Amino acid sequence: MEGGTMPIYLVIAYGIFWGLTFVLVFSIWMRQRRLEREIAALEAQLERTPAQEKAAGDAGSDVR
């Protein structure tokens, strides 16, 4: 190989490395956002569930 082609390969290798690093970080960031939304939805569902069970329990006590 010529001495002049090595820097080109080095630049290409660095470009590929940083491109893949960016893709990895971006995918982790997107998964984290999705999980945060899912956790928020589950927390909201947990907050609603006891209130609904209590309302159903109160309505059931009037049936006697």
**Within the chain, what is the greatest distance between any pair of CA atoms?**
94
Whether the per-residue pLDDT at 8 is higher than 50: the answer is yes
Calpha distance 18→27 (Å, rounded): 14
Confidence label for 3 from pLDDT (cuts 50, 70 and 90):
low
Which pLDDT tens digit goes with each residue over 21-48? 999 999 999 999 999 999 999 999 999 8
Nearest to 23 by CA among 12, 31, 34: 31
